[in-house]
Amino acid sequence: MEKQLTLHPRLERCLDVLAAIGSWASALALIVLVSTFGWLVYGRYILNDTPTWIEQLSMLMVITITFMASATGIRERTHLAVDIVPMLCSPRTRIALRLLCDLILCGFGIFMAIMSYGLLQFTWRMEIPLLGIPEGVRYIPVIISGALVALFSATSALSGAIYLFTHSDEAFVKDKSDSKNKAEE
């Protein structure tokens, strides 16, 4: 795997903290989801009184889990990727492809945040049935996730561009031989 230039250590630390907050938000939403389903089963089979509000809350929790974890996956590079094409390319082309993917993801994150904000404004006056909160609350995790995807992708693209345009071809050959030597050890 090619070397990745890191940006300023404080910026990297801030981005890591934001990713950790996203992971913790997903984990907390998962805990709420599992515990409310436990209450659903208890209410339905023990109390014989099904708590109907759990369905609406669970949809909100699933949205939070999905979008916050996906934004964190962009930062940690754990999202689904097809690596066969980059593996067949030269190191310089591999970084250029990664840069292109980061720029596309950044654009997608910006688009997602802007469009979700429009949906939030449109649905804010409506109410989520059984929960009594604005329908627009559903879009808050999507907006945050879009902004985080854009931020994480933009910083990754910036570091990739700096690396791509500041290193000579010899550096790429050296980086490739360094990674081969490490793989052989």
Average pLDDT value over all residues in the chain: 87
What residue spans define the domains of the chain?
9-172
Mean pLDDT of 43-63: 93
Q: Residue 127 pairs with which residues in a beta bridge? A: 134
Contact criterion met (CB below 8 Å) for 165 and 100: no
What distance in Å separates the CA atoms of residue 63 and residue 15, rounded to the nearest whole number? Answer: 22
CB atoms within 10 A of CB 141: 24
Residue with tokens 């996730």: 145
- Which of the four pLDDT bands, split at 50, 70 and 90, describes residue 169? low
CA atoms within 13 A on the CB side of 102: 20
Residue 137 has pLDDT above 80, yes or no: yes
Q: What is the pLDDT of residue 184?
A: 52
- Cα torsion for 26, 31, 37, 38, to the nearest 10°? 170
What distance in Å separates the CA atoms of residue 157 and residue 105, rounded to the nearest whole number? Answer: 10
Global pTM?
Answer: 0.83
